[in-house]
Amino acid sequence: MDFELSEEQRLTQKMARDFAQKEVAPHATEWEEKKAIPREVFQHMGELGFFALPFPEEVGGLGAGYVGYALAVEEVSRASASLGISYAAHCSIGTSPIFLFGTEVQKERWLGPLLRGELLAAFGLTEPNAGSDAGGTETTAVLKDGEWLLNGAKCFITNANLAGVIVATAVTDKGRGSRGISSFIVPADAPGFSVGQTYGKLGLRASDTAELVFSDCRLPADALLGERGGGFKQFLQTLDGGRIGIAALSVGIAQACLDAALPYAKTRVQFGQPISKFQAIQFKLADMAMETELARLMTHKASWLKDSHLAFGREAAMAKLYASETCVRAALQAVQILGGYGYMEEYLVERYLRDAKLMEIGEGTSEIQRMVIARGLGC
């Protein structure tokens, strides 16, 4: 067993940290206020290779695997969780299904631009009546005169307005339950496709979240991704990887909470000494540091299993569950340590608290993760 990062992984971490601290952190508050991240940020990330990290060299990736990708997502999210979620949604749930289930022709067409950041991707699964019960998909796809006609709507879709391509699910064979759901590659300029309402959110305000609308959306026959009827299993498999992304994002937020709370506690003087000298504050900081480290180790283990082509779904669910709950606790403690300042907008920790909450909801709620873990135990 070896807990050391390889030389390559250390370089990936350093590249991501340098980018995040120099080019993200100074602008993160402004992006939250404007509720948008400039397009050039994604272009620059593409040039630096961020989007190519988890994919193998055969398809134009950098072959850094999910360990390298998790290191990068953590660093980006430590500076801006909004950018972190846009990044993670693009890679692990937007691009991955094309990589995992696409034909050679589909991969040839889409992966190059997606890995270089020339296009962003989104994943259209959730619907008003199909969230945790993703098998309840109501969007339909009918094959007519050699074309697919999609009708329906998706909600809470990260990168909806930014995406050049969306992987979306629809019912192709009604009456077959979850085996009647298929996936489609939808270019953003497909006729009949549009982006609906953009949501106002508690946190992650700079990240783009909107509805997708399919009104007789016409797609060529070869827009089907993988087997007809295979969509449900595809998205469960996609979400297994996605949960590693959310775990890494959560570790980034938890680390940011510690980054803010520790120096504050060392310099804030009350009762004649820095508050870090009081055991009540030390215990909070100790728990934050321990839980963040544990969440990171769990994220790296799930990533390593995936990179080693071993079963990783249960560990990904454990990492996502533990890391997301850790970052909420860490954010609450950071606000508490900063006291009145922690509640004010100019101190970053109130943003971390608002951002952290989504980690317990997106890509499978904490309750769903516990179900997946329990199933892994044979319950």
The residue from 132, 194, 270, 308 that contacts ligand COS (CB under 6 A) is: 132
Structure-block tokens of residue 124: 């259209």
Which of 127, 291, 363, 367 is catalytic? The answer is 363
User: Which stretch in 29-37, 61-69, 126-134, 275-283 sits in contact with ligand COS by CB under 6 A?
Assistant: 126-134
| Tally of helices (H runs) and strands (E runs) in the chain | 12, 10
Measure CA 217 to chain center. Answer: 27
3-class secondary structure, 174: coil
Q: How far apart are CA 316 and CA 312, in angstroms?
A: 6
User: Which stretch in 132-140, 147-155, 250-258, 327-335 sits in contact with ligand COS by CB under 6 A?
Assistant: 132-140
Sequence-distant (≥ 6) Cβ neighbours of residue 271 within 8 angstroms: none
The residue from 32, 208, 307, 363 that contacts ligand COS (CB under 6 A) is: 363
Output the smallest distance, CB 130 to ligand COS, in A. Answer: 8
Answer for the pair 217, 193: CB distance below 8 angstroms, yes or no.
yes
Asked whether position 362 contacts ligand COS by CB under 6 A, the answer is yes
Which of residues 61 and 313 has its CB atom nearest to ligand COS in the complex? 313
Output the smallest distance, CB 226 to ligand COS, in A. Answer: 12
State how far the alpha carbon of 51 is from the alpha carbons of 13, 38, 88, 375, in Å.
14, 17, 9, 32
Asked whether position 237 contacts ligand COS by CB under 6 A, the answer is yes
Q: How far apart are CA 156 and CA 201, in angstroms?
A: 10
Residue 257's nearest CA partner among 330, 325, 324 is 330
Answer for the pair 263, 215: CB distance below 8 angstroms, yes or no.
no
Which of residues 135 and 164 has its CB atom nearest to ligand COS in the complex? 135
Which of residues 85 and 256 has its CB atom nearest to ligand COS in the complex? 85
Site track for ligand COS across 159-198, x = CB under 6 A? -------------------x--------------------
Asked whether position 240 contacts ligand COS by CB under 6 A, the answer is yes
User: Which stretch in 291-299, 300-308, 334-342, 359-367 sits in contact with ligand COS by CB under 6 A?
Assistant: 359-367
Helices 231-267 + 65-79 axis angle, to 10: 50
Q: DSSP letter at 200?
A: P
Q: Is 30 a catalytic residue?
A: no
Q: DSSP letter at 22?
A: I
Asked whether position 125 contacts ligand COS by CB under 6 A, the answer is yes
Tell me how crowded residue 58 is: count the other CB atoms within 10 A of its CB: 8
Which of residues 350 and 360 has its CB atom nearest to ligand COS in the complex? 360
Helices 81-88 + 39-48 axis angle, to 10: 60
Q: How far apart are CA 248 and CA 303, in angstroms?
A: 10
Q: How far apart are CA 302 and CA 323, in angstroms?
A: 12
Q: How far apart are CA 66 and CA 228, in angstroms?
A: 28
Task: Name the residue number minimizing CB distance to ligand COS.
Answer: 364
Which of residues 37 and 239 has its CB atom nearest to ligand COS in the complex? 239
Output the smallest distance, CB 264 to ligand COS, in A. Answer: 34
Site track for ligand COS across 287-326, x = CB under 6 A? --------------------------x-------------
Site track for ligand COS across 245-284, x = CB under 6 A? ----------------------------------------
Which residues partner with 120 through β-bridges? Answer: 163
Which of residues 106 and 159 has its CB atom nearest to ligand COS in the complex? 159
Binding site for ligand COS (CB under 6 A): 93, 123, 125-126, 131-132, 134-135, 178, 232-233, 236-237, 239-240, 313, 362-364, 368, 371-372
Active site residues: 363
